């Protein structure tokens, strides 16, 4: 079987699981402990390597990215299947989770100009981060593909 971007994304999509934090009882998504090392590397690269500590929202966006890639043969089509959260509580929780996310608001204003309201601005800002993660995942999976091709 030929390894493709879609097959790698499918394998990675299946490697995510829900876990529970003992301290708070809060659930979150993560890679299974048995996931291959290359998947951990993809996640690390999608966290901007060392720029970000492990972040629940980034993991969610990584999982959404591999799910999208698994469902489409073309990365551009997969990218267009991603959407920002629709609930204000999710958007504000995303923004609140990391102080540096406020920079995505500035990027949204710079890239798109005026917004009808703050909800649109939050959605656009979150979408910028989702796209950033998506392209980091795609690049990392291409690196994995190159390694697999050299090994075969």
- Count of domains in the chain? 1
- Count CB atoms within 10 A of the CB of residue 121: 18
| pTM, full prediction | 0.93
Domain range for 12:
5-151
CB 81 within 8 A of CB 68: yes
Cα separation of 82 and 131, whole Å?
8
State the average pLDDT over residues 48-76.
88
Q: Please give the Cα distance from 57 to 3 (Å, whole number).
A: 28
Give the separation between CA 81 and CA 94, rounded to whole angstroms.
Answer: 20
Q: How confident is the model at residue 55 (pLDDT cuts 50, 70, 90)?
A: confident
């Amino acid at each position: 079987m030929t390894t493709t971007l879609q097959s790698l994304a499918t394998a990675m999509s299946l490697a995510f699981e829900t876990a529970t934090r003992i301290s708070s009882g809060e659930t979150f998504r993560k890679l299974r402990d048995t996931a291959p090392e290359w998947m951990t590397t993809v996640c690390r690269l999608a966290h901007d390597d060392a720029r970000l500590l492990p972040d629940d929202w980034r993991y969610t966006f990584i999982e959404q990215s591999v799910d999208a890639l698994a469902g489409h043969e073309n990365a551009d089509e997969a990218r267009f299947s991603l959407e920002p959260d629709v609930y204000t509580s999710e958007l504000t929780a995303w923004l609140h989770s990391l102080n540096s996310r406020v920079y995505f608001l500035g990027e949204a204003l710079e890239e798109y100009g005026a917004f009808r309201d703050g909800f649109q601005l939050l959605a656009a800002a979150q979408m910028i981060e989702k796209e950033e993660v998506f392209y980091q995942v795609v690049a990392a999976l291409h690196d994995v593909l190159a390694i697999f091709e050299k090994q075969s």
